[in-house]
Structure 1
């Protein structure tokens, strides 16, 4: 991961978007507050796909900046006590993974758009410039604000025409995890990748502090191999399930120091729910769309289901060293570029048909007769601009994963603000399974067809096995 000690040097600088900048206009009407600024804030742009780390604020209310995996936080300026941001809605090119780029719509050079961070009680002014070929708007999902600022095109205000800049201005009356996305031609614009996080930190620094605070936006695309633009009419058969518009193995890990209090915030702007499961830990759910969960109302989980259009935040204390998987537990969502019409070949003898196919296609590789795991290790020619269905390697071989998958890496002694990948965890001796090469006991089998539950004694041991359902140390297996 890359630090942003020299944040400005990491971004492409874009011209100030004022009245002289190609006809871009600042619109003031009753739906938007009038401003006293002398020009637009600079529209910062991010072109890389690495995770950018924002330093803690040097003034104002202290807080731990969030870490948007494979994303970044939008800079702001302060104008007469108001925090001013500049979002640019525009076509972007997003690297979903090494070897695959998508032509999307997003904000400030990326999809997902940059994270907006502010503090409860702040007044914010957000300039939104539309560089799309059609009108747009920005809905501030979950936030409490005036009706006219809610961002529903045609209802809250007229949609923002191409080439125009509108201003949203409101007070942040509560802390929490919020999202932003269009509410104009929403089906198309969200399918093209237009979304982002809006984080409001508590005004009391002592309220629910954490050492590390990660953001994951669940989104999805349907992009045929060899093509670049998502199919916006897809309702269910998405083939690329992403976190922050990235797919494993190119989703950065969640790097944590042992002893840290860690928060993970997950928002879902796909068209289905996602049960997010983290290995190695149980955690407590501390936030929902409606706000923070009171301590007496929190509940323990190892998997938290994220409904459509919703957010959940959970927290844990990093006490267990290791590399711990974190992923969606819908198995097809940890795959890439899936073909949904592929038949199941398990148990099929493809020897004869493979010989015939190779007469036409010499490089044909039959797969699927024993399952699909072999795809994780094989390297075969692929169409341009796509990725294997299973990919990613760990210290012991192929991980056979893709899509919505990453790793929480807990280590000793990682400094605050350090999110560099520490590499793979070396498990201490005696803490991994080992191969058994000794004698295998005979299998005990049920012998009572009447279903009484009694089992026959093992022929080799001459002892009566325990009745099914009773506790036992189980050197055999019941079938």
Structure 2
């Protein structure tokens, strides 16, 4: 089904995209609809106050117009199709053709007017997460404003009072609408030089989000609270996540917001950073300390900065190991150490497609070519210059090159390590471990290193079982 057919069958009832008349839309900024999942180049400001723009990983920045000194945007809440990674397209809800929606970039002190058109099959609102604004613009349905009915357009207007990193998302039927992918990023740049905000050469941003989509399905399970199976940066799972490409010596800022149901310890290799900002504002320099991992709790934003002073292709990922893996069952038994010799053939006589999984760990999954249901990703995917990377989910690479030109965000390809700087196989003589030598002398044999029996000794507790 293509995008047009999907939208036409999205259970809009009597109200569809045509419910907002052309006469009504004539007074609004034209909404820019983007369907590509690729990272767009920075959108340089051509009107309004100047600033150094961000680059949204696998996303883009919304255009605007200046109307009598007010910066106007137009967001369209609608069903979308999002490519999670090549081979899997999910049917989500988002803004302006994508999930997450476009990044909003403004400058401190800008008066901002946002038109929000609802093309969903139910009412919605938008909450401007972390913003200081009039109470009636905060976007909580029923508390601050009426719901935005299907087919209607509401207007939000306020001054971007403080610089920082923020988000936007619905505050109505959140369990459904956020689980379906409705969210976006907001960056307010400082108007003047700020003592706690540095000038940077590269400024990246993305949201952490998660979905539970059964293999072979295309729509998230909205009632899930814990057992998600797709962990993503900006609704993209590795190997579908673009790399972050910088020049050697660049000062780099990475802004991350967490709209999943759990925390994420985000970790970088080869560098150390400082947390320089949260959704509460910039962190004073005296309150910062060096880290290589920062834990981002639910609903939080973290802004990290560092100098890209080490050339190479460096991993950047969530340090929860199962968050760097794509769809898998949570009820799969642990088969490590189970001897399947002689058993697999008999099972295949009954089930010809049976494949052995997990006897020696799950690393073999990176090379398996088993048939998968349509719109389903393998657990581990992606290849580098030295073989399978064996990752999925919240994983990408941070590429540092001395010949990357300023302002060039294109992928420079794989890094070639200089001679003598890469791990290699040892081909010399290996001394026998003392423990193995002792076993051989005591038993008069060379132990089978793959299947050495373990003697288990059981000691029963004494004293009624309470003193063990």
Question: For the superposition of Structure 1 and Structure 2, which TM-score range results when normalised by the shorter chain?
Answer: 0.7 to 0.9
1:226 shift after superposition: 0.6
- Distance, in Å, in 1 between the alignment partners of 2:374 and 2:46 is 46
Q: Does 1:82 align with 2:70?
A: yes
Deviation per residue, 1:74-127 (Å, 9 max, x gap): 000000000000000000000001110101000000001110000000000000
SS in 2 for 1:375: helix
Residue from 179, 188, 199 that aligns with 2:187: 199
- Structure 1 stretch displaced more, 198-207 or 233-242: 198-207
Specify the alignment match of 2:29 in structure 1: 41
Residue from 225, 249, 259 that aligns with 2:239: 249
2:47 and 2:66 in contact (8 A); partners too: no
Specify the alignment match of 1:474 in structure 2: none
Q: Does 1:221 align with 2:211?
A: yes
Residue from 415, 418, 423 that aligns with 1:425: 415
SS in 1 for 2:261: coil
Specify the alignment match of 1:437 in structure 2: 427
2:47 and 2:65 in contact (8 A); partners too: no
The two structures have a TM-score, normalised by structure 2, of 0.86
Aligned residues: CA RMSD: 1.7
Specify the alignment match of 1:8 in structure 2: none
- Structure 1 stretch displaced more, 383-392 or 207-216: 207-216
SS in 1 for 2:114: strand
1:354 shift after superposition: 1.9
Specify the alignment match of 1:300 in structure 2: 290
SS in 1 for 2:257: strand
Residue from 365, 369, 373 that aligns with 2:355: 365
- Distance, in Å, in 1 between the alignment partners of 2:402 and 2:332 is 45
SS in 2 for 1:237: coil
- After the TM superposition, which residues 125-204 of structure 1 pair with which residues of structure 2 at under 5 Å, given as runs? 125-204=113-192
- After the TM superposition, which residues 379-394 of structure 1 pair with which residues of structure 2 at under 5 Å, given as runs? 379-394=369-384
Deviation per residue, 1:431-459 (Å, 9 max, x gap): 112222223345467xxxxxxxxxxxxxx
The two structures have a TM-score, normalised by structure 1, of 0.84
Specify the alignment match of 2:3 in structure 1: none
SS in 2 for 1:53: coil
- Distance, in Å, in 1 between the alignment partners of 2:412 and 2:354 is 39
Residue from 314, 333, 341 that aligns with 2:323: 333
- Distance, in Å, in 1 between the alignment partners of 2:233 and 2:429 is 46
Specify the alignment match of 1:24 in structure 2: 20
- After the TM superposition, which residues 85-96 of structure 1 pair with which residues of structure 2 at under 5 Å, given as runs? 85-96=73-84
Structure 1, unmatched stretches of 5+, are 1-20, 29-36, 446-479
Residue from 53, 76, 89 that aligns with 1:65: 53
Structure 2, unmatched stretches of 5+, are 1-16, 436-468
Specify the alignment match of 1:465 in structure 2: none
1:25 shift after superposition: 7.5
- Distance, in Å, in 2 between the alignment partners of 1:252 and 1:68 is 10
1:63 and 1:205 in contact (8 A); partners too: no
The number of residue pairs the alignment matches comes to 416
1:175 shift after superposition: 0.4
1:62 and 1:205 in contact (8 A); partners too: no
- After the TM superposition, which residues 396-411 of structure 1 pair with which residues of structure 2 at under 5 Å, given as runs? 396-411=386-401
SS in 2 for 1:246: coil
Deviation per residue, 1:333-354 (Å, 9 max, x gap): 0000011000010011223442
- Distance, in Å, in 2 between the alignment partners of 1:60 and 1:103 is 36
- Distance, in Å, in 1 between the alignment partners of 2:333 and 2:304 is 39
1:298 shift after superposition: 1.1
1:259 shift after superposition: 1.1
- Distance, in Å, in 1 between the alignment partners of 2:425 and 2:20 is 68
1:25 and 1:165 in contact (8 A); partners too: no
1:367 shift after superposition: 1.9
**Runs (4+) of structure 1 moved beyond 6 Å?**
none
- After the TM superposition, which residues 316-355 of structure 1 pair with which residues of structure 2 at under 5 Å, given as runs? 316-355=306-345
